[in-house]
Amino acid sequence: MRNFYFILLILLVACTPNKDPQKIIDKAIAAHGGQLFEGRTVTFDFREKHYLVQRKPEGYTYIRSFEDDSLGQVKDVLTNSTELERYANDTLLNISEEWKFKYANSVNSVLYFFQLPYGLNDGAVIKKYLGQKVINKQLYEKVQVTFKQENGGKDFEDVFVYWINAETNTLDFLGYSYLTDGGGVRFRQAVNRRTIEGMVFQDYVNFKPTNKNASVEYLDQAFIEASLIELSQIQNENIEVK
């Protein structure tokens, strides 16, 4: 019976109709309770740093805080309407535009992945349906996300692909290509999924292909063939929702 179901999945993929990627993303956000980010404050720890995300109708506030051997207690504050500000022991530091960008990019990167799939309906997002794929005998809808240059950030040329479980609407895998720091391609598998106050949070296993120029769209096949290299574990700890 299981083999019959698997064959049926393959046949479904072979005759995949063109679907609306917006509807797929909307269902994924709902399945993760992502809309509950609005009006709530979420805190968590990641790699010895403490993060806070607060979203309101007028925008967001991101805060990263940690202890530095030379500076003491450091706090990075980033909002949708202001540049990043860095404080050391509550004193505002004068830092260059280059370092403001680097710190802001680092904070944005962590919070972007932490909030997924929430954020995929931002105004700068361009969605494209890529079809279906069977992974571990589960059927997935593939959606590509790129960004408009306007309001798309300095990394607007990055390309993401999301694999949404066709049955549960959960985001189980994602891949992306990036140009910063020499560029590269990554693939992530969601693990340790848990629900807190109606919101779904998950960690990831982070992989890279053996070929740096591999196409992000086809990383699913590399995962199936076990030809990816595990790089790290993305673990978000001590999550609290207020």
Cα–Cα distance measured from residue 144 to residue 22, given in angstroms and rounded to the nearest whole number: 11
pLDDT in tens, 27-84: 999 999 988 999 899 999 999 999 999 998 888 999 999 999 999 999 999 999 899 9
Q: Which residue has the higher pLDDT, 156 or 39?
A: 39
pLDDT in tens, 113-135: 999 999 999 999 999 999 999 99
- In this predicted structure, what is the pLDDT of residue 153? 58
Sign of the alpha-carbon torsion through 181, 152, 233, 168 = negative
Q: Tokens 């985001």 identify what position?
A: 171
- In this predicted structure, what is the pLDDT of residue 2? 55
- In this predicted structure, what is the pLDDT of residue 73? 97
Cα–Cα distance measured from residue 64 to residue 91, given in angstroms and rounded to the nearest whole number: 15
pTM: 0.88
Average pLDDT, the chain: 91
Cβ atoms of 175 and 187 within 8 Å: the answer is yes
Distances (CA, A) of 93 to 61, 71, 96, 145, 229: 19, 10, 10, 36, 40
- In this predicted structure, what is the pLDDT of residue 14? 47
What is the DSSP secondary structure assignment for residue 104, as one 8-state letter? H
Cβ atoms of 28 and 162 within 8 Å: the answer is yes
